[in-house]
Every structure is written in C-alpha cells, then in structure tokens.
Amino acid sequence: MNDLVNRYIDVWNEKDPAARRTQVEALFAADGRYVDPLADVTGHDGIDAVIGAVQEQFPGFVFRLGPSVDAHHDLARFTWELGPEDGEAVVVGFDVAVLAADGRIQDVHGFLDKVPAQ
C-alpha cells in the first residue's frame, strides 16, 4: 500500500501531461472517482483534469506525503501537503483511498485541513 500511495503522490507532481495521463490510467480504475470539498470527478479524464488544474493554480509547488500511511484491507489513509519545494506547506490534506479488485484506486475521499486565504 505504501508503494501505491507514493505513486499517487507522484502523479500529482507529474508536470508532463502525457506522462501524467499514463500514470493516472495505471493508478486509477477506469471508473475511479476523486472527491474533495472542491472537486467531484469520475474517470481518467476528470481525475487528470483536476490534477492539471491544481498544478496550474499552484505553479512550482510540490506534493509531499505525510509521515505515515495507515492501511488495512482495501483502504489507505494518509496526510499530504502542498507547497514550495523547500518551503512551508500552503495546503495540507488528508485522503482515504479505496482500492478496486484489480489493485488500482477506485475512490479517493479527500479532506482539506489547511487552505490559503482567498
């Protein structure tokens, strides 16, 4: 499960659109869903679009995995942060990933613990 979650963080950091799309397809089930307070998308197109939009909103920022992944059965929960490579995180979140029978991600339920002031 640690490897899967690391690959999940990697896809959020992938800047090349073609490479990112390949990673999304390998990581998520075809009907996979990503939902957080700001997004609710299903399928590779939607997931890829959300990741691209976050990268546009926060250019030059990187996602970092929190200190540990807690997993059992087909579930994993973990924290992450987004910020400048060598700087303080401006966004902090908590995700729960649910795996499909084929080992790819079926659903991600995201929560935002810290967001920048508008």
Q: How many angstroms separate the CA atoms of 95 and 52, rounded?
A: 18
pLDDT at 116: 86
> Taking the complete model, does pTM exceed 0.85, yes or no?
yes
The candidate with the shortest Cα–Cα distance to 57, out of 82, 30, 21, is 82
How does pLDDT run across 8-49, given as a tens digit for each residue? 999 999 999 999 999 999 999 999 999 999 999 999 999 999
Q: What angle do CA 64, 69, 2 make, to 5 degrees?
A: 85
How does pLDDT run across 61-115, given as a tens digit for each residue? 999 999 999 999 999 999 999 999 999 999 999 999 999 999 999 999 999 999 9
**117 confidence band (pLDDT: 50, 70, 90):** confident
Whether 118 has a pLDDT exceeding 80, the answer reads no
pLDDT at 111: 98
Element (H, E) at 13: helix 2-13
Q: How many angstroms separate the CA atoms of 97 and 110, rounded?
A: 9
Buried b (16+ CB within 10 A) or exposed e, 94-110: ebebbbeeeeebbbbeb
Query: Which strands sit side by side in the sheet containing 39-42, from one edge to the other?
Result: 39-42, 28-36, 105-114, 91-99, 75-84, 61-72
